[in-house]
Amino acid sequence: MSTRHTKTYVLVHGAWHNGRVWDRVVPLLRRAGHRAFAPSLTGHGDKEHLLGPDVGLDTHVADVVAVLVEGDLTGVTLVGHSYAGMVVSAVAAQVPERIAGLVYVDAMVPADGETVLDVIPMTQRLIDAAAASGAPWRIPPMPEGPEPMGLFGVTDPADAAWLRTMLSDESVRCFQQPVRLDNPAMDAIPRTHIHCVGGAAQGVMRRPVPPVQPNGAPSRVRELRSGHDCMITVPRELTALLLDAD
């Protein structure tokens, strides 16, 4: 692993998770000589008590922008997992001058004005199920499935038990609010896509990555033989790809 220069990583978790999901990756990045931050978004982790019907995608974008601005972080490699692909894209549109690179880890990659429902239409099923419940604004975590799906791709019983301690409900608004990517300055930011190819939930289709990045460079797509939550199942392999994401 190269330590040519110190990088700053901000790792953003996906829906239903919290910042602790990166606990196996953060020490590896720091051991390699870099700075790494893994905040929990509003409604999750130490902010779980703030979950409410008004929490949406814009809330989570503001969370991450605050981490960057309040910490005066620049030259950031901004990493988004799953739903957080929406978040980091919008953050890059708001503060492109602070971002050195975007990394989409098995993540949604939206176009301007799209919602989670546009990127993954099967999410409507989760919203419909919530609407039929006593709390129509909140969506519980997706249930565990048979292998190779497991719990977000985690099949080891001990790892799955650990993951369950991090899961909490998501606000419907997070999936319905459109992303705003109307700043052309974000197009200059290099991107890396990391795809987990160990199995996907039924009905989830990954969009193909265009051959050319918005900045004109060839697209960078890497694969991990892992389920969706690769930061739990293959943290060393994921860290190696993050360190290579210039």
pLDDT tens digits for range 79-125: 999 999 999 999 999 999 999 999 999 999 999 999 999 999 999 99
Alpha-carbon gap, residue 43 to 191, rounded angstroms: 28
H or E element that contains 105: strand 99-105
Report the C-alpha gap between 97 and 75 in whole angstroms: 8
Containing H/E element for 223?
strand 221-224
CA angle, residues 206, 117, 79, in degrees to nearest 5: 55
Q: Tens of pLDDT along 150-189?
A: 899 999 999 999 999 999 999 999 999 999 999 999 999 9
Chain segment 49-65, per-residue pLDDT in tens: 999 999 999 999 999 99
Residue-level pLDDT at 198: 75
Nearest to residue 192, comparing CAs of 73, 35, 85, 83? Answer: 85
What lies within 8 Å, CB to CB, of 119 at 6+ separation is 86, 108, 109, 110, 207
CB-side exposure of 168: number of CA atoms within 13 Å? 20
Per the CB < 8 A criterion, the answer to whether 120 and 204 are in contact is yes
Whether pTM > 0.85 for this model: the answer is: yes
d(CA 225, CA 237) in angstroms, rounded, equals 9
